[in-house]
């Protein structure tokens, strides 16, 4: 897997990593994913600092700063559909 492929797979999981809802009482699904990079990822070690913000009406947004061992490489944003289980 290339560093870019690894980054994209990892970024898709941002909303699960930064979940502010209890998985046993709420369902949330990504309805889109935007990844904006200012440089290509390098190496095996990738990370993200993800935050989910609830909208209160069945919607939420997850944003993340993406980085590798050399520093920040870009950001991601996901729109989420949220409903009680």
Domain ranges of the chain: 3-84
Beta-carbon contacts of 75 under 8 Å, excluding residues fewer than 6 positions away, are 35, 36, 63, 64, 65, 66
Asked if residues 82 and 60 have their Cβ atoms less than 8 Å apart, the reply is: yes
Domain 3-84 has CATH 3.10.129.10: yes
pTM of this structure: 0.88
| pLDDT tens profile 36-51 | 999 999 999 999 999 9
The residue-averaged pLDDT of 25-40 equals 93
Distance CA 38, CA 59 (A): 28
Count, residues in the chain: 85
């Amino acid at each position: 897997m290339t560093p870019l492929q690894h980054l994209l797979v990892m970024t898709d999981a941002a909303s699960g990593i930064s979940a502010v809802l209890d998985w046993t009482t709420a369902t949330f699904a990504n309805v889109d994913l935007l990844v904006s990079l200012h440089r290509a990822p390098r190496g095996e070690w990738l990370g993200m600092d993800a935050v989910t913000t609830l909208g209160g009406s069945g919607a939420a947004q997850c944003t993340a700063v993406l980085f590798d061992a050399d520093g920040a490489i870009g950001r991601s944003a996901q729109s989420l559909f949220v409903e009680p289980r």
